[in-house]
Structure 1
């Protein structure tokens, strides 16, 4: 089931980087796979039902205020909840830290390159497709940072390197 989790993370990375959204089919399929892994005791992070439940609740509830204040999309929040179902509560904190550092670097690079447009194509790439094509887009739809992608990258890294210590 580790391969299924990794494949789900790769889908999330690619989709969020390209579209700046996480579709419901990706969230639901990730939740279904996580529940199957738990039921078969083939969970790649070696957690049980309680740890997975607390991880899902924490992942969802922690990011919900960011959605409520229009700082994050609903897909990112749902993805974080399902990610918590996969990784559990104990792995969620280091994954959040890594993802937040990556997202912060993204935002800093985007802001810097907007000020000094040495690489205009990189600015467009960092801004994402909605920002690049919709100059009159409402602030609600403007999603510069693909946070679910950074959560997925951090989770994949945690799967490979984080559990070795």
Structure 2
């Protein structure tokens, strides 16, 4: 559970703000998770390997087609695989459903923000220093922060 928090809390922030999921964070959590899973499997039996190994494999396989089609970033796919590794395959479906609902809500908020009656607020926000800093951090990366919602959903489910 600690590994999940160490992974997910920073990713929620970086993906929401900068639209980035650093590979080093995924590796720094996946390594200790593999050691923990191996240690648990040694003491409790091979079922632990199946639950977490299958979680990582399914997490990768399920989102990979979305990356191939160009509708999802590779960081989101890798994050889902690491969540599957840490939480095991039973957590993947609820995490996926929650994250997809939250991302859909985010998209609706963005679409609502494009309405004409919100133009003045939108222009004021676009000119703010905070928004300009966020755009610098994003460095041209666009899209919805699906990884942030995957990470938040993983924390809710586990």
- What CA distance in whole angstroms lies between the structure 2 residues aligned with 1:103 and 1:15? 16
Shift of 1:146: 0.8
- What CA distance in whole angstroms lies between the structure 2 residues aligned with 1:9 and 1:89? 17
Q: Indicate yes or no: 2:78 matched with 1:65.
A: no
Shift of 1:90: 1.1
Of the structure 1 ranges 57-66 and 28-37, higher mean CA displacement relative to structure 2 is found in 28-37
RMSD: 2.8
Q: Give the structure-2-normalised TM-score.
A: 0.80
- Structure with the greater relative contact order (CA < 8 A, sep ≥ 6): 1 or 2? 2
Q: Name the one with the larger helix percent.
A: 2
Q: Indicate yes or no: 2:43 matched with 1:31.
A: no
Q: Secondary structure at the match of 2:20?
A: coil
CA change 1:76–1:130 in 2 (3 A) is: farther
Would you say how many aligned residue pairs link Structure 1 and Structure 2? 146
8 Å contact kept, 1:5–1:33: no
Structure 1 residue runs without a partner (length 5+): 160-165
Shift of 1:60: 0.8
CA change 1:30–1:48 in 2 (3 A) is: same
Matches within 5 A, 1:12-161: 12-41=11-40, 48-116=48-116, 118=118, 119-120=121-122, 121=125, 129-130=134-135, 141-142=141-142, 144-159=143-158
Of the structure 1 ranges 111-120 and 56-65, higher mean CA displacement relative to structure 2 is found in 111-120
**Higher Cα Rg: structure 1 or 2?**
2
Structure 2 residue runs without a partner (length 5+): 42-46
Shift of 1:37: 2.3
- What CA distance in whole angstroms lies between the structure 1 residues aligned with 2:39 and 2:116? 53
- What CA distance in whole angstroms lies between the structure 1 residues aligned with 2:100 and 2:36? 27
Shift of 1:131: 9.3
